[in-house]
């Protein structure tokens, strides 16, 4: 018998909702076949079976929630674990190295019952001993997400195991999660003229991420306008060629290309701030995030190694990630390891905005709607296409002067698009 547990699949995901069971009790499933689709707060994860056998038990019903460490299914694979060995395993606490092996990614999850058995979070006040650092997979992943050294955390669980609540006590996030709610008058509504809906997991994640970003990062927003008449003409001339290659050529590929070129000169914008260790983490890659509006809410997948792609290649990648986002086909790899993000509120006929930085990045670019405006050039009033631009920065690591110099170079690429091809 194989007790298949729901493993920690990374990206801070600690629970999910059963979206669809692909097999039922009594069915024979082969190793690698999709057993269940689980909706998390970031992606819909297809969970494959780790073994071949007959399903004898399934976890929660469709629509119910499952937490990391709980049983997804019991599969009769022909093996049988001796009771005396099983008893020994359950009694033995997990070491730090063993628990590290419990983490996996979608499509390659291999987690044994020995590992998951130690995920139970029962708070017991035991004096701290000089021993190996023990922690549940949930707590270990949470500590990593919040840049907390787990060795500095006093565990309150069995055998001094570190629990997720122990992590929250030391994090800045705990101030948001555990703060006393603001006292206000009770909200009363006419039930006949109103209705209530539970927010989706994605909306819940957006709310938490926005709270985390605004409570952690001191935002400063800079706004400007760029004359992009040459870019408008250049794109217009290349649209037919793009159509022949079945590529939708918008302004976004040019903006992304300009951004990667600028990041090469100002790497501080391609970094993250490690508050606990007081270090700036510079990234040796450029994964450009693009905010995508979906029926369920905003999600920010990123284009991997965008600095190595041509404008047409970037356009193709944009088409792919937008299609995947609309059809809930994004994977964790599409979402993680972002460098800097772009949000385009111009598609909704908006001009300026103050975008919120995607934690733990240090900057975000906001793009508005291109409009024709009168401008003064060589003491003459002429009509030009103008692109509104805003950029929010993490003022802990980026100063106004840095932001000004960054935008000056960034604007030069968009003002003269031939620089994008010659650079």
Tens of pLDDT along 265-278? 999 999 999 888 88
pLDDT of 294 higher than 50: yes
User: Sorting pLDDT into bands at 50, 70 and 90, what band is 234?
Assistant: very high
Cβ pair 391, 365 in contact under 8 A: yes
Which residues in 248-278 are b (16+ Cβ under 10 Å) and which e?
A: ebbbbbbbbbbbbbbbeebebbbbbbebeee
Q: What is the mean pLDDT of residues 190-200?
A: 82
- Per-residue confidence (pLDDT) for residue 63, from 0 to 100: 85
Considering 31-40, 323-332, 347-356, 404-413, the range whose residues carry the highest mean pLDDT is 404-413
**Range name among 162-171, 302-311, 344-353 with the lowest pLDDT average:** 162-171
- Per mean pLDDT, which range of 15-29, 88-102, 272-286, 353-367 is the poorest? 88-102
Name the residue with tokens 């995607």: 358
Rounded CA separation 351/422 (Å): 30
pLDDT at 414: 95
**Percent of the chain whose predicted confidence (pLDDT) is above 90:** 41
Q: Domains in the chain and their CATH numbers? A: 1-115 (2.40.50.100), 120-177 (4.10.320.10), 217-422 (3.30.559.10)
Among 13-17, 25-29, 33-37, which stretch is predicted with the lowest mean pLDDT?
A: 13-17
Phi and psi torsions of 259, nearest 5°: -65, -45
| pLDDT score of 46 | 82
pLDDT of amino acid 255: 96
pLDDT of amino acid 222: 92
Predicted confidence at residue 385, as pLDDT, reads 95
Q: What is the pLDDT of residue 113?
A: 41
What distance lies between CA 162 and its chain's CA centroid?
Answer: 25
Q: Measured over all CA atoms, what is the biggest interatomic distance in the chain, rounded to whole angstroms?
A: 90
Residue range 116-142: mean pLDDT, rounded: 55
Model confidence pLDDT, tens digit, residues 31-80: 888 898 888 766 777 888 888 999 999 988 888 888 888 888 999 888 76
Among candidates 407, 395, 325, which has minimal Cα distance to 365? Answer: 407
- Least confident range of 40-54, 237-251, 321-335, 362-376: 40-54
Inter-residue contact 137 to 8 (CB < 8 Å)? yes
Distances 298 to 1, 291, 354 between C-alpha atoms, Å: 42, 7, 16
The DSSP 8-state label assigned to residue 246 in this structure reads T
The number of helix segments (H) and strand segments (E) in the chain equals 13, 19
Residue 209 and residue 215: Cα distance in Å, rounded? 10
Q: What is the pLDDT of residue 92?
A: 43
Mean pLDDT across 6-34 = 81
Lowest mean pLDDT among 109-118, 146-155, 312-321, 368-377: 109-118
Q: Collapse the DSSP code of 48 into the 3-class scheme (helix H, G, I; strand E, B; otherwise coil) and give the result.
A: strand
What is the per-residue DSSP string for 292-350?
A: EEETTEEE--EETTGGGS-HHHHHHHHHHHHHHHHTT---HHHHSS--EEEEEGGGGT-
Decide: residue 179, CB within 10 A, 0-12 exposed, 13-18 middle, 19+ buried. exposed
Q: 416 with 268: CB under 8 angstroms?
A: no
395 catalytic, yes or no? yes
Which of these ranges, 209-213, 244-248, 256-260, has the smallest mean pLDDT? Answer: 209-213
Which of 195, 219, 275, 395 is the catalytic position?
Answer: 395
Which of 123-132, 208-217, 303-312 holds the top average pLDDT?
Answer: 303-312
Select, from the ranges 54-63, 186-195, 390-399, the one with the highest average predicted confidence (pLDDT).
390-399
Range among 63-67, 100-104, 290-294, 412-416 rated most confident: 412-416
Task: Please report the pLDDT score of residue 99 as a whole number.
Answer: 40
């Amino acid at each position: 018998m194989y007790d298949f547990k729901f493993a920690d699949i990374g990206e801070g995901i600690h629970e999910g909702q059963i979206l669809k069971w692909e097999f039922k009790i009594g069915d024979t499933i082969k190793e690698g076949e999709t057993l269940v689709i689980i909706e998390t707060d970031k992606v819909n994860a297809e969970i494959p079976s780790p073994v071949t056998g007959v399903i004898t038990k399934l976890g929660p019903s469709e629509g119910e929630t499952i937490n990391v460490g709980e049983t997804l299914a019991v599969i009769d694979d022909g093996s049988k674990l001796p009771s005396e060995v099983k008893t020994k395993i359950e009694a033995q606490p997990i070491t730090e190295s063993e628990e590290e092996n419990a983490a996996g990614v979608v499509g390659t999850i291999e987690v044994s019952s020995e590992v998951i058995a130690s995920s139970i979070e029962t708070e017991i006040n035991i004096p701290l001993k000089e021993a190996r650092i023990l922690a549940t997979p949930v707590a270990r992943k949470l500590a990593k997400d919040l840049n907390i050294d787990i060795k500095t955390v006093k565990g309150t669980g069995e055998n001094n195991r570190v629990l997720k609540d122990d992590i929250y006590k030391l994090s800045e996030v705990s101030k948001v999660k555990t703060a006393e709610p603001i006292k206000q008058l009770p909200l009363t509504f006419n039930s006949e003229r109103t209705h209530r809906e539970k927010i989706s997991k994605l909306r819940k994640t957006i709310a938490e991420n926005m709270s985390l970003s605004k409570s952690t990062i001191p935002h400063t927003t800079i706004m400007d306008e760029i004359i992009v008449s040459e870019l408008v003409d250049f794109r217009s001339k290349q649209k037919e060629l793009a159509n022949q290659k079945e590529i939708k050529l918008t302004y976004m590929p040019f903006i992304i290309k300009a951004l990667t070129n600028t990041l090469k000169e100002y790497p501080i914008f391609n970094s993250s701030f490690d508050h606990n260790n007081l270090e700036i983490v510079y990234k040796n890659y450029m994964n450009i995030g693009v905010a995508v509006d979906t029926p369920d809410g905003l999600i920010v997948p990123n284009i991997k190694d965008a600095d190595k792609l041509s404008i047409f290649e970037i356009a193709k990648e944009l088409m792919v990630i937008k299609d995947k986002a609309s059809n809930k086909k994004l994977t964790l790899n599409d979402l993680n390891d972002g460098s800097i993000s772009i949000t385009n509120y111009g598609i909704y006929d908006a001009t300026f905005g103050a975008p919120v930085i995607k934690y733990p990045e240090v900057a975000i670019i906001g793009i508005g709607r291109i409009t024709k405006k009168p401008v003064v050039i060589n003491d003459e009033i002429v009509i030009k296409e103008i692109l509104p631009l805003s950029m929010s920065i993490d003022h802990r690591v980026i100063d106004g002067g840095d932001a000004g110099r960054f935008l000056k170079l960034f604007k030069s690429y968009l003002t003269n698009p031939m620089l994008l091809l010659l650079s």
